């Protein structure tokens, strides 16, 4: 049985439609698609409605509109006696389970249109911006909807606000230029930064190359280099004629070679230093000797001799180490005898006064040395400062009084530098006079 109503009907109780396949038909006889079902509260106010036209005033046109009209009216869709979808009064939708949409989610991906956002329960949002033009499009991940954490622009440039971490084994971050170099940051057993083959690596400061490493692994610094630790080089450190190394407290090396000819070199050994010029020895230095090669001519324009101390046998001058003589008295004057040994000089006879004279600097001639010319401190005071000194008739001693006995030898041996401490300048004259009295 079918019942048709063409005018309003008020039903104060329930309305039940029963039958095999019952239906409720609402027809707009004016053909303007304005059918609706209203849900009215006890005050006569419409709380919810189902309408075939936009009842919000937004001008949406014909369609199926279901919802609330009051500020406190949520709309919920229920399945199996459980709310599946809640639409709150701020137009936010919350799904109790998963949401599947043919156009929004495809093959496991979420599709967003221009100016859309994905918002998490926290403060992170994903935003796609189109700006209604063909430029300035971007994809952003933002925090608190105000701070950009990551931006990917349509020109393929990307910007991270914070740190970028790659945690995979041997992780590599690569930056490739079309037709150009590929720059890589790699994390293996050691951290690496580099480029692909046939391209230099540059480290920039103020948009200018501060360090350039070429394809042969040579590094060029545009300005100065300051190092607070050690510099270790297995190869060469090469400069030019204008390169200076200054303010270096200590440089450790095995050898220093000339740039023009590496056969000119100073070799530094554990116990000696040698200098070669054009592969020829020039001198050697040990902890006891400074030796010039016999072929080398030495020119010393100013030789500074210091007045010695008041210690006997203190010396500064020309010293020889031969004679094989021991048990000598330091600070005494000796002559070289015909046996090649040293004996105390004595002005009493020509044989002990005319030969080569020297002052003993210790008990052994070959170890302590014999001063043949220079500053020295004798073991006795020979006179007053400024006096001319002679070989004395007392063996091994100098005097300011010329010998006067018959057969004595008068020979100048130097000059007195101090009246009380025995300091003299020793420079024996090669000539002598024999006294006849």
- CA-CA distance, 74 to 88, in Å (whole number)? 5
Structural element, H or E, at residue 147: strand 147-153
Domain ranges for the chain, please list them.
111-160, 175-221, 255-292, 315-434
β partners of residue 142: 125, 148
| Cα R_g (the chain), whole angstroms | 56
Model pLDDT, residue 108:
46
Q: Kindly state the percentage of the chain with pLDDT values over 70.
A: 79
The 10s digit of each residue's pLDDT in 269-312 is: 889 999 888 888 888 999 888 888 888 888 889 999 999 999 99
Q: Tens of pLDDT along 308-328?
A: 999 999 999 999 999 999 999
> What backbone torsions phi and psi does residue 207 show, to the nearest 5 degrees?
65, 20
The neighbour count for residue 54, using CB atoms within 10 Å, is 13
pLDDT (tens digit per residue) in 106-151: 454 555 555 555 655 567 777 766 555 556 667 778 787 778 887 8
Average pLDDT value for the chain? 81
Share of the chain above pLDDT 90, in %: 32
223 vs 211: CA distance, rounded Å: 9
CA distances 314 to 55, 246, 376, 378, 410, Å, are 122, 38, 6, 8, 26
Please check the confidence at residue 14 and state whether its pLDDT lies above 80: no
3-state SS of 351-364?
HHCCCCEEEECCCC
Q: Model-level pTM? A: 0.49
Q: Measured between alpha carbons, how far is 359 from 270 in angstroms, rounded to an integer?
A: 34
Q: How far is CA 246 from CA 220, 243, 249, 250, 276, in A?
A: 19, 10, 9, 11, 25
The mean pLDDT of 48-72, rounded to a whole number, is 73
Interacting residues of 335 by C-beta distance below 8 A, sequence separation 6+:
342, 343, 344, 345, 352, 353, 354, 355, 356, 357, 358
């Amino acid at each position: 049985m079918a019942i048709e109503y063409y005018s309003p009907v008020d039903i104060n109780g329930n309305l039940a439609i029963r039958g095999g396949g019952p239906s409720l038909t609402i027809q707009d006889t004016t053909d303007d698609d304005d059918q609706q079902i209203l849900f009215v509260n006890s005050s006569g106010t419409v709380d919810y409605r189902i309408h075939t036209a936009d009842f919000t005033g937004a001008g949406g046109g014909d369609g199926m509109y279901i919802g609330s009209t009051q500020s406190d009216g949520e709309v919920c869709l229920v399945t199996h006696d459980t709310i599946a979808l809640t639409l709150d009064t701020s137009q936010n939708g919350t799904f109790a389970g998963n949401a599947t949409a043919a156009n929004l989610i495809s093959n496991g991906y979420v599709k967003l249109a221009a100016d859309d956002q994905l918002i998490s329960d926290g403060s992170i949002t994903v935003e796609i911006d189109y700006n209604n033009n063909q430029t300035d499009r971007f994809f952003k991940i933002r925090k608190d909807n105000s701070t950009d954490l990551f931006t990917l622009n349509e020109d393929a440039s990307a910007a991270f606000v914070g740190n970028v971490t790659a945690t995979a084994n041997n992780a590599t971050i690569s930056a490739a230029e079309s037709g150009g170099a590929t720059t890589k940051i790699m994390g293996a057993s050691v951290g690496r930064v580099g480029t692909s083959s046939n391209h230099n690596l540059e480290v920039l400061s103020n948009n200018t190359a501060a360090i350039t490493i070429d394809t042969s692994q040579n590094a060029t610094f545009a300005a100065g280099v300051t190092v607070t630790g050690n510099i270790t080089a297995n190869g060469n450190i090469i400069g030019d004629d204008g390169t200076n190394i200054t303010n270096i407290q200590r440089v450790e090396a095995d050898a220093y070679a000339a740039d023009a000819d590496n056969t000119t070199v100073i070799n530094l050994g554990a116990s000696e230093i040698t200098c070669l010029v054009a592969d020829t020895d020039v001198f050697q230095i040990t902890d006891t000797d400074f030796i010039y090669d016999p072929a080398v001519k030495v020119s010393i324009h100013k030789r500074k001799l210091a007045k010695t101390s008041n210690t006997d046998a203190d010396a500064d001058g020309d010293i020889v180490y031969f004679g094989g003589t021991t048990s000598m008295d330091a600070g005494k004057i000796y002559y070289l005898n015909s046996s090649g040994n040293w004996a105390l000089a004595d002005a009493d006879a020509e044989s002990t006064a005319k030969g080569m004279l020297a002052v003993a600097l210790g008990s052994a001639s070959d170890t302590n040395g014999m001063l043949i010319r220079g500053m020295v401190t004798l073991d006795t005071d020979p006179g007053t400062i400024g006096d001319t000194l002679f070989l004395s008739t007392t063996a091994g001693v100098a005097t300011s009084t010329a010998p006067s006995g018959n057969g004595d030898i008068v020979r100048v041996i130097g000059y007195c530098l101090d009246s009380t401490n025995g300091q003299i300048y020793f420079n024996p004259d090669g000539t002598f006079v024999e006294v006849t009295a």
